[in-house]
Amino acid sequence: MCKLPKFSDPNLLVGFDTSDDASVYKINETTAIIQTLDLFPPVADDPYDFGRIAAANALSDVYAMGGEPKIALNILCYPEDFPLESVEGILMGGYEKVMEAGAMITGGHTVKDPTPKYGLSVTGFAHPKEIRTNNGARDGDVLVLTKPLGIGALNSAATAGLIQPDELRSVIDTMSELNKTAFEISRDFQIHASTDVTGFGLLGHAYEMFAHTNLSLNILSERIPLLAGALSYADNGVVPGGTFVNQAYLVDSVGYATSVGDALKLLLTDPQTSGGLLLALSEKEAEQLVRRLREHIARAEIIGYVSKRDGDLIYVE
Give the pLDDT score at 284. Answer: 94
Question: Would you say residue 2 lies in a domain?
Answer: no
Asked if residue 176 and residue 106 are part of one domain, the reply reads: no
Asked if residue 226 and residue 309 are part of one domain, the reply reads: yes
Half-sphere exposure of 88 (CA within 13 A, CB side): 3
pLDDT value at 2 more than 90 = no
**pLDDT tens digit sequence for 157-204:** 999 999 999 999 999 999 999 999 999 999 999 999 999 999 999 999
Question: Would you say residue 288 lies in a domain?
Answer: yes
Give the pLDDT score at 15. Answer: 81
Q: How many angstroms separate the CA atoms of 48 and 46, rounded? A: 6
Asked if residue 285 and residue 181 are part of one domain, the reply reads: yes
Give the pLDDT score at 4. Answer: 80
pTM for this entry = 0.94
Asked if residue 197 and residue 120 are part of one domain, the reply reads: no
153: domain CATH number? 3.90.650.10
End-of-domain residue from the set 130, 152, 184: 130
Beta strands at 117-126 and 68-78: parallel, antiparallel or unpaired: antiparallel
Give the residue-averaged pLDDT of 235-243: 96
Asked if residue 159 and residue 19 are part of one domain, the reply reads: no
pLDDT value at 3 more than 90 = no
Asked if residue 181 and residue 310 are part of one domain, the reply reads: yes
pLDDT value at 18 more than 80 = no
Phi and psi at residue 232, in whole multiples of 5°?
-65, -45
Mean predicted lDDT score pLDDT of the chain: 95
End-of-domain residue from the set 130, 159, 190: 130
Confidence of residue 8 (pLDDT cuts 50, 70, 90): confident
Give the residue-averaged pLDDT of 139-152: 98
Question: Would you say residue 4 lies in a domain?
Answer: no
Asked if residue 276 and residue 153 are part of one domain, the reply reads: yes
pLDDT value at 300 more than 90 = yes
**pLDDT tens digit sequence for 50-104:** 999 999 999 999 999 999 999 999 999 999 999 999 999 999 999 999 999 999 9
Q: How many domains is the chain partitioned into structurally?
A: 2
Give the pLDDT score at 85. Answer: 97
Asked if residue 54 and residue 27 are part of one domain, the reply reads: yes
Asked if residue 163 and residue 125 are part of one domain, the reply reads: no
Confidence of residue 19 (pLDDT cuts 50, 70, 90): confident
Give the pLDDT score at 232. Answer: 97
Question: Would you say residue 161 lies in a domain?
Answer: yes
- Please name the residue ranges forming H helices in 7-106: 47-64, 84-100
Question: Would you say residue 121 lies in a domain?
Answer: yes
Question: Would you say residue 66 lies in a domain?
Answer: yes
Question: Would you say residue 229 lies in a domain?
Answer: yes
Residues 6+ apart with CB under 8 A from 240: 152, 153, 155, 156, 270, 271
Asked if residue 101 and residue 177 are part of one domain, the reply reads: no
End-of-domain residue from the set 68, 100, 130: 130
CA distances from 119 to 51, 67, 105, 132, 139 (A): 8, 19, 12, 23, 37
Q: Which domain holds residue 58?
A: 12-130
Asked if residue 196 and residue 68 are part of one domain, the reply reads: no
Asked if residue 311 and residue 229 are part of one domain, the reply reads: yes
Question: Would you say residue 198 lies in a domain?
Answer: yes
29: domain CATH number? 3.30.1330.10
Q: How many angstroms separate the CA atoms of 177 and 147, rounded? A: 9
